[in-house]
Amino acid sequence: MSNELSDAAQRAQHYLENVGKRRVAPDSISIRALDELSGPLPETGEEAELVIADLDRLGSPATVASAGGRYFGFVVGSGLPVALAANWLAGSWNQNVAMEVMSPVGSRLERVALGWIRDVLALPSESQGAFVTGDTLANFTALAAARHEVLRKVGYDVESQGMSRAPSVTVLVGNEVHVSVLRAISLLGLGRDRVVRLPVDEQGRMQVDQLPSVSGPTIVCTQVGNVNTGTSDPVREISRRVHPSGAWVHVDGAFGLWARVSPGRRAQIDGVEEADSWALDCHKWLNVPYDSGAVFVRNSDALRAAMAAGPAAYLPSGGEGDRMEFTPEMSRRARGVDVWAALRYLGRSGLADLVERCCAHARLFADRLTAAGFHVLNDVELNQVLVSFGSDAVTRAVISAIQQEGTCWCGGTVWHGTTAMRISVSSWATTETDVERSVEAMIRVAKELVPD
């Protein structure tokens, strides 16, 4: 083996063995030391081992320790070791999964892994999909298929004719829509300021009784797993209301869709199988290495038509395994390999355990912080907790202090006008001890800022 490969593997092992012992956010000295990685491109090349050694010496200390168990920022997974190992192997294969002929193994594993996800999430068996970089691109891909289909139904071919003369498309979203959906809407020329925003209840769920009657080309964007509260829109009722008029229902389920793997939580995320398309992340709750998302569309013809590229003499015509037919990209890394490994390692029961463990840890955070006298703002249904430590200014100060203190890392948000700390438990690596240590730090930091 080349020395740099075994050297990097050893360094990675050392990093991961120690990631739980260090502070979560890097310290300012490590960040300043990154300057050493800058500078002009060397005139002559350097030894591979030296390149890797510098990367580790300067890069590793400046990472955010999200591979450990006490990172609760945004919604971030940790990377299961088995998925990371598969990712390394797949990296050494260096496969391009644009077409089956370019990587029989990459294409096969992509299809197998997509089939397993479809199965474990109980999505319709006829839906087809692909792996993309993440949920943002999954939303974009699904909504491109939606745009194709609602316009096709009124006799308009948007892929060849463009948007300038297209019939108007109504896009309905809940007031709590994730910004990535709005980004997809703007990229697709549907106009982010033209969306109709529907009211939501106090936990952020779309209110079905506020749905207007729809007609003509219409797309309804629902959400499963609100980024603040973790709650989900009632997708079944929404689908049943709008489907008779021919509307397309999309589900943005970045992390929340994974809750379907737990039999105890199926009812909570009920009815999503009635939608037309689904976007989700694998790098969040499935804990595969970044970046990794997946898209599924019930009407695979619509997806294929939306993603179609012109024929090119050098490209073989599309076969079942040619996933470039289903994504905006052509060349792609073999994301299916990491996902396949994670799913095979966990199995159905391991997946359900992972989800349940994260939810139980979120509950523990909420209980401990409530018992300490702080205010949990959301119904903790899933893995998200919003907590206020007093006034907005105090909560902001606690968030900043906890990030500096280093035991754990949480970000902030504003929920119904109140500043809150967001705790998102999404890592396979989080243990009860991690939660207790983090709660202890939060309470200590908050009490230092506002003594009783």
Ligand X SMILES: Cc1ncc(COP(=O)(O)O)c(C=O)c1O
Residues in touch with ligand X (CB under 6 A): 74-75, 134-136, 178, 180, 223, 225, 227, 252, 254-255, 281, 293
Closest contact distance (angstroms) between CB of 405 and ligand X is 24
Closest contact distance (angstroms) between CB of 341 and ligand X is 20
Closest contact distance (angstroms) between CB of 426 and ligand X is 9
Written in H, E and C, the secondary structure of 117-149 is: HHHHCCCCCCCEEEEECCHHHHHHHHHHHHHHH
Asked whether 223 and 75 are in contact (CB, 8 A), the reply is no
Whole-angstrom distance, CA of residue 418 vs CA of residue 410: 16
First and final CA of the chain: distance in angstroms? 61
Closest contact distance (angstroms) between CB of 74 and ligand X is 6
| Phi (first) and psi of residue 278, to 5 degrees | -145, 135
Closest contact distance (angstroms) between CB of 155 and ligand X is 32
Sorted by sequence, the CB contacts under 8 Å of residue 220 that are 6+ apart come out as 171, 172, 173, 211, 214, 238, 242, 247, 248, 249, 250
Residue with Cβ nearer ligand X (66 or 107) = 66
Would residue 439 be called left, alpha or beta, if left means φ above 0 and alpha means ψ between -120 and 50 degrees? Answer: alpha
Residue with Cβ nearer ligand X (139 or 419) = 139
Closest contact distance (angstroms) between CB of 200 and ligand X is 13
Residue with Cβ nearer ligand X (254 or 421) = 254
Q: Which helix (H) or strand (E) holds 414?
A: strand 411-415
Asked whether 133 and 293 are in contact (CB, 8 A), the reply is yes
Assign 261 to helix, strand or coil: helix
Residue with Cβ nearer ligand X (150 or 227) = 227
For residue 435, which amino acid is it? V
Sorted by sequence, the CB contacts under 8 Å of residue 57 that are 6+ apart come out as none
Asked whether 36 and 58 are in contact (CB, 8 A), the reply is yes
Closest contact distance (angstroms) between CB of 444 and ligand X is 29
CA atoms 77, 307, 220, 269: torsion sign? negative
Residue with Cβ nearer ligand X (321 or 336) = 336
Task: Specify the DSSP class assigned to residue 320.
Answer: T
Residue with Cβ nearer ligand X (135 or 322) = 135
Residue with Cβ nearer ligand X (26 or 134) = 134
Residue with Cβ nearer ligand X (69 or 225) = 225
Closest contact distance (angstroms) between CB of 137 and ligand X is 7
